[in-house]
Amino acid sequence: MTDENPLLKQAISLSGDPDAIRKFYADWAETYDADLLQTIGYVGPRIAAEALVKRLPKTALVLDAGCGTGLVGSELISRNSALTIDGIDLTPAMLEHSRSRGIYRNLSQADMMATLSGIDDNIYDGIVSAGVFTNGHVGPEGIDELLRIAKPGAPIVLTVRDSAWEADGFKAKVEQLEQDGKTRTLEITHCPYHTKEDVYCELVVLEVV
């Protein structure tokens, strides 16, 4: 195990302030993929994409929520090239990297802690969000908007860093959603997240009721 990457330490220490997060990722965008994939062994995009694709029909409209540089989108399309993928992210610089991959239908700037006002109710066949629900970023209340824009029966796949799972209220939120009859919990699996740093996440799969 190595010491945690200093950029990752800074990322999870952010206060959740959109302006601070946007600036941080704008500054990091150029080296983001190499830092995550090569330096820390980030596998969140892979495990999230695998969990979603196996629960979707061959053709489906998917939202990559917090798409960043498009790592999740690339993992999705490598497993099913028939998917149609939209992406949202807080940071324009990250969206430009996603756009350069040529795999997204639409890409737009959005704050997942606010109402996703440009997205209609019940339109996505599946939603995936990797690396977003974590310390200092989007809190558990961000799940509510994903439920609104997903079709009934749609799978929603999230990675939640283990340091945030209970401490930041994600476990309680997932349990409450099921108790309220809004979701069914299909899977919660403790998974490697940063393989070179011995950091784990909870892979959460919800079905919209």
Torsion angles phi and psi, residue 185, rounded to 5:
-85, 115
Tens digit of each residue's pLDDT (9 = 90 or more) over 127-144: 999 999 998 889 999 999
Least confident range from 33-37, 72-76, 126-130, 154-158: namely 33-37
**What is this structure's pTM?**
0.92
The listed range with the strongest mean pLDDT (16-25, 26-35, 92-101) is 92-101
Residue 4's pLDDT is 65
**Residues of 57-71 as b/e, b for ≥16 C-beta within 10 angstroms?**
eeebbbbbbbbbbbb
Q: How far is CA 171 from the centre of its chain?
A: 16
Q: What residue spans of 101-204 are helical by DSSP H?
A: 143-149, 162-165, 170-179
DSSP 42-61: B-HHHHHHHHHHTTS-SS-E
Handedness of CA 130, 133, 135, 137 (dihedral sign): positive
Least confident range from 17-26, 40-49, 155-164, 176-185: namely 17-26
Least confident range from 2-16, 46-60, 62-76, 187-201: namely 2-16
Average pLDDT over residues 51-72: 97
Instruction: Kindly tell me if the per-residue pLDDT of 6 is higher than 80.
Output: no
Instruction: Kindly tell me if the per-residue pLDDT of 1 is higher than 70.
Output: no
Q: Tell me the average pLDDT of the chain.
A: 93
As a whole number of angstroms, the distance between CA 128 and CA 74 comes to 13
Structure tokens at 150: 């997903």
Residue 38's pLDDT is 87
Tens digit of each residue's pLDDT (9 = 90 or more) over 100-116: 999 999 999 999 999 99
DSSP 8-class letter at 124: B
